[in-house]
Structure 1
Amino acid sequence: MASTQDEQPDAPWHAAYPDPTSDVVFISREDVLALLNDSTLVAGKDYLLVDLRRNDHQGGTIRGSVNLPAQSLHPILPTYYNLFKAAGVRKIIFYCGSSGGRGCRSGGWFGDYLASQNDSDMQSLVLQGGIKGWVKAGKEYTDKMLEYNADLWA
C-alpha cells in the first residue's frame, strides 16, 4: 500500500502520555555497584532496580531488578508508588538499554508523581549509561547480573 503525505507514521508509545517535567537525576554505575555490595542493604527493601526493557530484555539483568516495561509504567504509577511506599523503599533506580529514552522518561514520570505526593523521602533515579554501560564496565559489574550471557552482548 502506498503512503501519502497526509498519513502520519505511527506515534511512539510514549506519545500518549505527558512529557515529564521533573529533572532527571542520574546515579552512576559505581554508586549502584556500591549499593549491591553493601551487605547492610537489601534490594527490594532499601532500594529497587527497575529494568524497563520489554522485547530487548535479553542477555541478563542486574541482580535484584524487577522487570516493569516502560510501556506499562505511566498508567499505573500510583499503584507502584503505593507498593514502594508501603515497602519503605527510598531509592527507585530505573534503567533500560542506554537510559537515554525509556530510563529518563520513566524516571521523570516517577519524579513527577513523587512531587505530586509531596514525597521527599523517596528518590527517582536513572542509572547512567543503562545496562549497556553496566556490561561494558567489566567483570565486576557483569558478576552482579542474573542470567548474564556474554554472547548476546558481543
Structure 2
Amino acid sequence: MSSKTIPSIEYINRDELKDLIKDKSKIPGKDYLVVDVRDDDYEGGNIPNCINRQSSKIHDIPQIIFTCALSKARGPKCARIYSEELFLNKGIKTDQKVQVLKNGFEGWQSNYKDDPELVENYNKEIWDPDYNQ
C-alpha cells in the first residue's frame, strides 16, 4: 500500500476565479490554469485562456481548476483522476492546488457572459433560453 496521499480537491467559487483572472499579476498557464472538460457543449463560450484537453505539462502550474457544464460529474471526476494519476502513479510531489469551479461554466456564464475579460466566444443562442422567442 502506498504511503502517498491524494490531496483533497477543493471547490473554487466564481467570484474567486473572477478575481484570479482579473489579477494582472497572475499569468494564465503559468500561475493558474483552467481545464474545461466539456465535449460538444464547449461550443458557445468558454473561460479565457482555458484549455479544452488535459496536458502532461500542467503539473508545473501551481493552481489547476477543472470545470465542465455544471461541475457535478465530469469536472470533479477529471480532477480526481488527475490527482490520482499525478500523486499516486507518477509520484510527483507538488504543492499544486487542484480545484473544481463550483456550478461549472453554466453558473459562470450566467454571471459573467457580458464581460469579455471573463467569457470568450459567447453565443447567446446556446445559453439564453429566451433568445429568439
Name 1:29's counterpart in structure 2.
Answer: 14
> Higher helix fraction: Structure 1 or Structure 2?
1
Match of 1:98 among 52, 70, 73: 70
Equivalent pairs counted in the alignment come to 121
Q: Alpha-carbon deviation of 1:105?
A: 0.2
Percentage identity across aligned positions?
A: 29
Q: What 5-or-longer segments of structure 2 have no aligned partner?
A: 1-5, 129-133
Q: How does 1:120-135 map to 2 (within 5 A)?
A: 120-135=94-109
Could you tell me the TM-score, scaled by structure 2's length?
0.80
Cα deviation 1:116-140 (Å, max 9, x = unaligned): 2252421211000000010122456
Report if the CA contact (8 A) 2:22-2:117 is conserved: no
**SS at the partner of 1:131?**
helix
Name 1:76's counterpart in structure 2.
Answer: none
User: 1:152 and 1:131, CA in 2 relative to 1: closer, same or farther beyond 3 A?
Assistant: same
Report if the CA contact (8 A) 1:22-1:108 is conserved: no
Q: How does 1:78-97 map to 2 (within 5 A)?
A: 80-81=55-56, 83-85=57-59, 88-97=60-69
Q: What 5-or-longer segments of structure 1 have no aligned partner?
A: 1-20, 74-79
Q: Alpha-carbon deviation of 1:143?
A: 4.6
Report if the CA contact (8 A) 2:36-2:67 is conserved: yes
The residue type equivalent to 1:58 in the other structure is: E
**SS at the partner of 1:56?**
helix
**SS at the partner of 2:84?**
helix
- Bigger Rg, which one: 1
